[in-house]
């Protein structure tokens, strides 16, 4: 019961973050354009609130915050898996261009099928998944040169990211104004238009992919020992890597489809988790998901309150928090920060 040992050792942190999430969730529920006291929230939750309070809580705040939690967990896991499979602590679906690839397919969808049945929230994650996977495969192939060298992977990713950005701009400029508005708001990574239907579109992806990625923890632990050791221990390195890449792309794609371009969560959360409990993926993956959810919940709360009544897109908030951290990581990393 190797995994249980690691898991229980990290239990303290799991509990801390679960409580943190509950705490922030309650604060975030009661703050915003219309302040609702804690007492009123409880009343509304058990069905005794006024119509206005019910509208604000159930139709506006709850879907948005649940979405933040799901997206945060999904992106954090996607980043953790990417970092594990490339053995590169700087990998992140945003930096590598996987998010941009997903975004590109979604914009193409809006462009070619504007308003038709395919753009319903349930189809968007699938298109985004296709885009994310395509980009992931392209990056993988382009950085392949007798193996994947971490630095090359990052550079290729940065390049592909720029390319997707350019294509995005070209297609956006060709759109009609209504679609353009829709695409722009969505691309900046804002979840303030969140509705229950988007939450329901995201839930199945997370529910299926979360356990699958936890189940892969053992393989990822072995990966960390290096390629030759993994082969000696009986892991099909390439097959396993491709499978993990698919999961990571699926998670990123689904999250981007509903949340837009939210960057740096996939970088930050696993990194913080690694600092707290070390590199064992049995506990690292769940803790990353928890931290990611916390981060996005906080970012959402900051975004809606700091410059109220203006609503700052959540992607902007995560960038402002995340990029200084990336610089700090670059400054302090030893030996490229890569576990070679």
Partner 1 sequence: MVIPKNILKKGFNHPITWCITGSFLVFLSFLLSVGLGAVAIPLHVLIDAIVSFQPDNIKHQLVWEVRLPRAFAALFIGAALAVAGAIMQGVTRNPLADPSIIGVTQGAGLAIALCFAILSSGSYWMLLGWSFVGSAIASILILVFSNISKEKFSPVTIALAGVALSTLFSALSTGIALYFQVAQDVSFWFSGGLSGTKWDHVYILIPIVLIGLTLSLWISRPLTLLSLGEETSISLGQSNHKTRVIGLIAVILLSSVAVSIAGTIGFIGLIIPHIVRLFVGHEYKWILPSSAIAGALLLLTADVLARMINAPFETPVSAITAILGVPILLHLARRKRRSI
Q: Which is nearer to partner 1, 55 or 175 (CB)?
A: 175
> At its nearest, how many Å lie between partner 1 and the CB of residue 317?
8
* 324 contacts partner 1 (rule: CB under 8 A): yes
Among 143, 213, 216, 230, binds partner 1 (CB under 8 A): 143
Contact range with partner 1 by CB under 8 A, out of 42-50, 154-162, 240-248, 282-290 = 154-162
Nearest to 283 by CA among 221, 233, 241: 221
* Token representation of residue 88: 């590169």
**Shortest reach from residue 262's CB to partner 1, in Å:** 11
Residues 57-64: contacts with CB under 8 Å, at least 24 apart: 57/29, 59/195, 59/196, 61/28, 61/29, 61/32, 62/29, 63/194, 63/195, 63/196, 63/198, 63/199, 64/191, 64/192, 64/194, 64/300
Q: Which DSSP string corresponds to 37-102? A: -HHHHHHHHTT-S-HHHHIIIIIIIHHHHHHHHHHHHHHHHHHHHHHHHHTBTT--TTTTTHHHHH
Q: Which stretch binds partner 1 (CB under 8 A): 161-169, 198-206, 220-228, 230-238?
A: 161-169
263 is a site residue for partner 1 (CB under 8 A)? yes
Nearer to partner 1, 175 or 203 (CB): 175
Region near partner 1 per CB under 8 A, out of 30-38, 273-281, 287-295, 315-323: 315-323
Residue 330 is encoded by which pair of tokens?
């670059």
| Segment contacting partner 1 by CB under 8 A, of 37-45, 145-153, 214-222, 275-283 | 145-153
Query: In terms of CB distance, is 42 or 330 closer to partner 1?
Result: 330
> Contact with partner 1 (CB under 8 A): which of 75, 95, 199, 256?
95
Site string for partner 1, 202-221 (x = CB under 8 A): --------------------
Cβ neighbours of residue 167 closer than 8 Å, sequence gap 6 or more: 104
Of the candidates 57, 50, 14, 8, the one whose C-alpha atom is nearest the C-alpha of residue 35 is 57
- Give residue for tokens 């943190």: 20
The one among 111, 233, 264, 279 contacting partner 1 by CB under 8 A: 264
> What angle in degrees, to the nearest 10, is found between the helix axes of 62-86 and 281-305?
140
Q: Is 326 in the site for partner 1 (CB under 8 A)?
A: yes
Q: Give the total residue count for the chain.
A: 340
How many residues bind partner 1, per CB under 8 A? 44
Q: Least distance in Å: CB of 292 to partner 1?
A: 18
Q: Given the complex with partner 1, which of 276 and 320 has the nearer CB atom?
A: 320
Residue 166 is a binding residue for partner 1 (CB under 8 A): yes
- Assess 155 for contact with partner 1 (CB under 8 A): yes
Q: Which of residues 291-310 bind partner 1 (CB under 8 A)?
A: 307, 310
Enumerate residues 73-92 that contact partner 1 by CB under 8 A: 90
Q: In angstroms, what CA-CA distances link 293 with 66, 89, 183? A: 9, 19, 25
Q: Which residues pair with 144 in a beta bridge?
A: 148
Cβ within 8 Å of residue 312, ≥6 positions away? 302, 303, 304, 306
Q: Which stretch binds partner 1 (CB under 8 A): 117-125, 166-174, 199-207, 250-258?
A: 166-174
Q: Is 147 helix (H, G, I), strand (E, B) or coil?
A: coil
Tokens (6 digits) for 74: 């999904």
Candidates 110, 136, 156, 245: give the one binding partner 1 (CB under 8 A).
Answer: 156
Return residues touching partner 1 (CB under 8 A).
90, 95, 142-143, 145, 151-152, 154-156, 158-160, 162-163, 165-167, 169-170, 173-174, 188, 263-264, 307, 310, 312-313, 315-316, 319-320, 322-324, 326-327, 330-334, 336
């Amino acid at each position: 019961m190797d995994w249980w040992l690691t898991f229980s050792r990290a239990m303290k942190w799991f509990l801390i973050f679960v409580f943190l999430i509950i705490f922030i969730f309650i604060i975030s529920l009661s703050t915003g354009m219309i302040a609702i006291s804690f007492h009123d929230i409880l009343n509304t939750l058990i069905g005794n609130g006024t119509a206005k309070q019910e509208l604000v809580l159930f139709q506006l705040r709850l879907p948005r915050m649940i979405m933040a939690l799901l997206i945060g967990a999904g992106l954090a896991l996607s980043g953790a898996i990417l970092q594990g499979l490339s053995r590169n602590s700087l990998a992140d679906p945003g930096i590598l261009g996987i998010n941009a690839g997903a975004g590109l397919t979604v914009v193409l969808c809006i462009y070619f099928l504007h308003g038709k049945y395919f753009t319903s929230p349930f189809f968007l994650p699938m298109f985004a998944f296709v885009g994310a996977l395509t980009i992931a495969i392209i990056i993988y192939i382009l950085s392949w040169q007798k193996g994947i060298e971490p630095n090359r992977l990052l550079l290729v990713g940065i390049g592909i990211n720029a390319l997707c950005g350019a294509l995005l701009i070209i297609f956006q400029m060709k759109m009609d104004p209504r679609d353009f508005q829709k695409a722009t708001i969505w691309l900046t990574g804002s979840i303030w238009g969140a509705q229950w239907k988007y939450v329901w579109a995201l839930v199945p992806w997370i529910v299926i992919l979360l356990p699958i990625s936890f189940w892969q923890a053992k393989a990822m632990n072995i990966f960390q020992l290096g390629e030759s050791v993994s082969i000696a221990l009986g892991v099909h390195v390439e097959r396993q890597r491709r499978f993990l890449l698919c999961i990571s792309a699926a998670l990123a794609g689904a999250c981007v489809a509903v949340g837009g371009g939210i960057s740096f969560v996939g970088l930050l959360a696993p990194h913080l988790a690694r600092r707290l409990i070390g590199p064992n993926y049995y506990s690292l993956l769940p803790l990353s998901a928890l931290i990611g959810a916390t981060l996005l919940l906080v970012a959402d709360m900051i975004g809606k309150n700091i410059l109220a009544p203006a609503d700052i897109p959540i992607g902007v908030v995560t960038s402002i928090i995340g990029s200084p951290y990336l610089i700090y990581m670059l400054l302090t990393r030893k030996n490229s920060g890569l576990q070679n």
